[in-house]
Amino acid sequence: MSFSSRRILAACALLLAAIALHGCGKQGDGAQTFLSPGKTAFANTDVTGLDYAKDFALPDHNGKMRTLADFKGKAVVVFFGYTQCPDVCPTTMAEMAAVMQQLGPLADKVQVLFITLDPERDTPELLAKYVPSFDPRFLGLVGDKAATDKVAKEFKVFYQKVPGKEPGSYTLDHTAGSYVFDPQGRLRLFVRHGQGAEPIVHDLKLLLS
């Protein structure tokens, strides 16, 4: 891929990420098709070749340190959220659960990861109950504040606290979208929130074919 092509892809992805930024309680727009020259026609945004979101190193909800290499051979879907999110996060997770159902046997070649942006409240014990409740194969990842900031920066994920009505309470505004890696561990797609399961199923089948 030429340098100019990379710059075009990067600009499109950054614009999409900005559009996908939501506070919890807001809904995302529908899917957009982005077809790079000579590339497969994905339903979601093709971000192949972007020079970020390369890896992470965080414990899962069982206490095992995880990196992207642990899931080589699988398509990996990475979503950033938090368990007390009122709608964007649970609807995304429910959407991914529907994706897994529609994939049938292929679902065993997909790993969904939920990275919490709220380590202050999202303990491994809480994540172990919350994340697999959508699908037993899903994993929650949680680090300390420094580790969370580091991985959010690597993935260009925005998040900030919004004070609640009660003293000490808060919600989080955060980027509402998911990243998809192919079975070789390469970043391939950015998935917008709220589009339904079918476009994601379509793209995962292409990545797994």
Q: Tell me: the pLDDT tens digits for 164-209?
A: 888 888 999 999 999 999 999 999 999 998 889 999 999 999 999 9
The domain of 83 spans 69-208
Is residue 168 packed enough to be buried (19+ CB in 10 Å), middle (13-18) or exposed (0-12)?
Answer: exposed
Please give the Cα distance from 192 to 176 (Å, whole number).
Answer: 7
Total domains, the chain: 1
Q: What percent of the chain has pLDDT over 70?
A: 81
Question: So what's the pLDDT on residue 39?
Answer: 59
Annotated ligand binding at 85? The verdict is yes
pLDDT beyond 80 at 29 = no
| Total residues found in the chain within this entry | 209
Flag whether 18 is in a domain: no
Domain assignment present for residue 55? The answer is no
Residue 131: closest CA among 174, 71, 77, 171: 77
Q: What CATH number corresponds to the domain at position 176?
A: 3.40.30.10
pLDDT for the residue numbered 17: 44
Does residue 61 form part of some domain?
no
| Residue 48 domain flag | no
| Global pTM value | 0.82
In a domain, residue 193? The reply is: yes
Residue 115 has pLDDT above 50, yes or no: yes
Domain-located, residue 144 = yes
The pLDDT confidence band at residue 20, using thresholds 50, 70 and 90, is very low
Residue 49 has pLDDT above 60, yes or no: yes
Q: Write the pLDDT tens digit of every residue in 68-94.
A: 999 999 999 999 999 999 989 999 999
CA–CA dist 177, 86 (Å, integer): 16
Residue 62 lies in a domain: no
Quick check: is 158 in a domain? yes
